[in-house]
């Protein structure tokens, strides 16, 4: 591969890794709260979290681009603090990735926490464990399958996203050019050999991620049994 393609691979891997780590931390309290909620606000929050799944990527990217504009309150605040704009930067790509990948982290964790049930937490509470201690020592380990699934889905989704990132980051080599954009460029220029290398790499990595999750899920089922 060319140096430009390797740069796109490295930038994409860094973006996916950071997005996965941040979302696992951000989604954990949100998913936990949703798994325990019974109020009327639960349905609207779940719909809002799942919105990136059904909203066209270009529409989501457009609104994120407006949010990152120096003319907006948030974009202007960022410009004042950092001296640079969020749009067409790696930080902008990261913010966009966090937004459009949020449901891939929240939903598996929420399902895992709901599967834990209230019994183990009540048992820990009866032993005078504080809520945070009970969560870290009981609920989180029992939801290991959900964490593995959420991490894999977020990482794999970030590897292949195109529309949102193109709207927010453009296609600047070394700054915002990710694998999907490099692949599109090669296809557009009829360089199918280079396109095959990138597409084949994505296919192989995605398969390995899903295979690993399947194996881990099987192990978690065996441990629980």
Q: Over the stretch 122-146, which tens digit does the pLDDT of each residue have?
A: 777 777 778 777 787 888 888 888 9
The C-alpha atoms of residue 161 and residue 6 are separated, in whole angstroms, by 17
Q: Which two tokens stand for residue 12?
A: 């994409």
**pLDDT tens-digit readout, 59-71:** 999 999 999 988 8
Range of the domain at 157: 3-224
Q: What percent of the chain has pLDDT over 70?
A: 96
How far CA 97 is from CA of 8, 24, 155, in Å, comes to 16, 13, 10
- How many CB atoms are located within 10 Å of the residue 122 CB? 10
Q: What integer pLDDT is reported at residue 140 of this predicted model?
A: 84
Number of domains in the chain: 1
Q: What integer pLDDT is reported at residue 26 of this predicted model?
A: 95
How far CA 212 is from CA of 52, 61, 143, in Å, comes to 26, 31, 17
Say if CB 160 and CB 13 are below 8 A apart. no
Q: What CATH code is carried by the domain that includes residue 44?
A: 1.10.3720.10
The C-alpha atoms of residue 42 and residue 92 are separated, in whole angstroms, by 29
Q: What integer pLDDT is reported at residue 30 of this predicted model?
A: 94
The C-alpha atoms of residue 98 and residue 52 are separated, in whole angstroms, by 11
Model confidence band, residue 90 (pLDDT cutoffs 50, 70, 90): very high
Phi, psi of 56 (to 5 degrees): -55, 135
Q: Which two tokens stand for residue 71?
A: 């003319």
Say if CB 159 and CB 205 are below 8 A apart. yes
State whether the Cα torsion 162-152-150-115 is positive or negative: positive
Alpha helices in 73-191 (DSSP H): 73-82, 90-116, 119-126, 131-134, 140-142, 144-160, 163-169, 179-188
Model confidence band, residue 222 (pLDDT cutoffs 50, 70, 90): low
The C-alpha atoms of residue 161 and residue 5 are separated, in whole angstroms, by 16
More confident residue, 216 or 12: 12
DSSP 8-class letter at 215: H
Q: What integer pLDDT is reported at residue 65 of this predicted model?
A: 92
Q: What integer pLDDT is reported at residue 84 of this predicted model?
A: 85
Region label for 83, one of left (φ > 0), alpha (ψ between -120 and 50) or beta (otherwise): left
The C-alpha atoms of residue 15 and residue 91 are separated, in whole angstroms, by 9
pLDDT higher than threshold 60 for residue 224: no
**By mean pLDDT, which of 36-40, 73-77, 120-124, 180-184 is the weakest?**
120-124
Mean pLDDT of the chain: 88
Say if CB 88 and CB 12 are below 8 A apart. no
């Amino acid at each position: 591969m060319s140096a430009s393609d390797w740069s796109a691979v490295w930038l994409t891997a860094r973006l996916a890794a950071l997005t996965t780590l941040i979302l696992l931390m951000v989604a954990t309290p949100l998913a936990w709260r949703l798994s325990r909620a019974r109020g009327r606000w639960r349905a609207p929050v779940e719909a809002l979290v799942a919105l990136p799944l059904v909203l066209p990527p270009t529409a989501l990217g457009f609104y994120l681009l407006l949010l990152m504009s120096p003319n907006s309150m948030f974009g202007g605040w960022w410009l004042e603090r950092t001296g640079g704009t969020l749009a067409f930067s790696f930080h902008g790509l990261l913010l966009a990735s966090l937004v459009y990948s949020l449901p891939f982290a929240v939903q598996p964790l929420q399902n895992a926490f709901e599967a834990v049930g209230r019994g183990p937490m009540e048992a820990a509470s009866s032993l005078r464990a504080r809520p945070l201690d009970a969560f870290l020592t009981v609920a989180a380990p029992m939801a290991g399958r959900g964490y593995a699934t959420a991490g894999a889905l977020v990482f794999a989704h970030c590897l292949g996203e195109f529309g949102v990132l193109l709207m927010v980051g453009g296609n600047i080599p070394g700054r915002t050019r990710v694998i999907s954009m490099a692949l599109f460029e090669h296809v557009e220029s009829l360089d199918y050999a280079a396109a095959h290398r990138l597409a084949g790499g994505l296919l192989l990595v995605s398969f390995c991620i899903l295979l690993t999750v399947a194996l881990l899920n099987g192990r978690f089922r065996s441990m629980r049994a």
